[in-house]
């Protein structure tokens, strides 16, 4: 008990300062940098919202008046740059359209082809049970083969356009006279008969019910062609000139006839010049 006060007095009398320990920084200072973004977050959000709300500048718009400290761009350079951008825009749109078309074609090629439906097979007919049906079936087969052969020959001779037009015209005629089908099927060369019969029908339609009027029409057409081909020449154009006003070489004191020439005059040689 006695040592404690003496030690305390000795310590106080020495003037030593108590050891100071570093105190950690207050938590408020550490949290300060983290709190700063929280305060600036509304400002960043407002800035991004304003940027989104602002309309994008139009590159093709006419330039306004320059600012006092702004450099002046020549009009030719501005037009050239705008034309270049427009060309690139058109090229980009064309490339996008071509890309879409190619992708569509690629998708179509990847699709499996549709399964071909086999032709319907006709049920066989027993000639013993149905002789009439069997006969009709055989006639149809023979007629189909004859039509195919006739069409092939007509296409080689006249061409597809002529055959299509003649077939269409013949079908219009059969609407007024269905008996033409039976007559067509009975011919050995149906397509050639159809073409010849169509020509006769067109001629009848052109002549009509008045052959005299058709003849007059042909005559007028022929005369018009003749007049257009060669100009009309006068009948007297090829005749020799008239001698009615020509004067005689005989002397005026005679009647114009001096007698026949003598034999010496006839046999006389012309003098040399």
Neighbours of 192 (CB within 10 A): 15
Give the residue numbers spanning the domain of 148: 131-228
Looking at the domain assignment, is residue 155 inside a domain?
A: yes
Looking at the domain assignment, is residue 189 inside a domain?
A: yes
Looking at the domain assignment, is residue 75 inside a domain?
A: no
Give the tens place of pLDDT for each residue, 62-86.
656 666 666 666 777 777 777 777 7
pLDDT band, residue 34 (cuts 50/70/90): very low
Residues ≥6 apart with Cβ < 8 Å to 7: none
Looking at the domain assignment, is residue 183 inside a domain?
A: yes
Looking at the domain assignment, is residue 144 inside a domain?
A: yes
Residue with tokens 């020799």: 240
Looking at the domain assignment, is residue 61 inside a domain?
A: no
How far is Cα 74 from Cα 72, in angstroms, rounded to an integer?
A: 6
Minimum mean pLDDT range among 57-71, 92-106, 148-162, 180-194: 57-71
Looking at the domain assignment, is residue 10 inside a domain?
A: no
Phi, psi of 218 (to 5 degrees): -65, -40
Domain total of the chain: 1
245 compared with 5, residue with greater pLDDT:
245
Which pairs with CB-CB distance under 8 Å and at least 24 residues apart come from 86-92? 86/60
pTM for the structure as a whole: 0.39
Give the tens place of pLDDT for each residue, 187-212.
999 999 999 999 999 988 888 888 88
Looking at the domain assignment, is residue 205 inside a domain?
A: yes
């Amino acid at each position: 008990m006695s040592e404690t006060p003496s030690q305390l007095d000795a310590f106080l009398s020495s003037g030593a300062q108590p050891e100071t320990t570093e105190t950690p920084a207050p938590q408020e200072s550490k949290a300060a940098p983290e709190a700063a973004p929280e305060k600036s977050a509304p400002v960043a959000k407002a800035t991004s919202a304003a940027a989104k709300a602002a309309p994008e500048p139009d590159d093709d718009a006419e330039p306004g008046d320059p600012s006092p400290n702004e450099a002046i761009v020549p009009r030719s350079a501005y037009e050239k740059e705008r034309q270049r951008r427009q060309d690139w825009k058109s090229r980009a749109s064309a490339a996008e359209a071509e890309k879409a078309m190619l992708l569509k074609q690629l998708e179509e090629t990847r699709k499996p082809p549709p399964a071909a439906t086999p032709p319907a097979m006709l049920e066989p007919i027993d000639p013993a049970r149905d002789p009439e049906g069997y006969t009709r079936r055989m006639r149809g087969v023979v007629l189909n083969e004859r039509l195919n052969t006739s069409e092939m020959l007509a296409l080689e001779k006249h061409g597809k356009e002529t055959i299509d037009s003649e077939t269409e015209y013949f079908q219009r005629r059969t609407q007024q006279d269905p008996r033409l089908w039976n007559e067509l099927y009975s011919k050995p060369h149906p397509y050639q008969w159809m073409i010849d019969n169509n020509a006769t029908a067109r001629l009848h339609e052109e002549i009509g019910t008045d052959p005299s009027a058709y003849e007059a029409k042909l005559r007028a057409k022929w005369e018009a062609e003749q007049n257009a081909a060669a100009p009309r020449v006068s009948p007297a154009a090829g005749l020799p000139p008239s001698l009615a006003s020509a004067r005689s070489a005989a002397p005026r004191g005679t009647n114009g006839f001096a007698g026949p020439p003598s034999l010496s005059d006839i046999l006389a040689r012309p003098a040399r010049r």
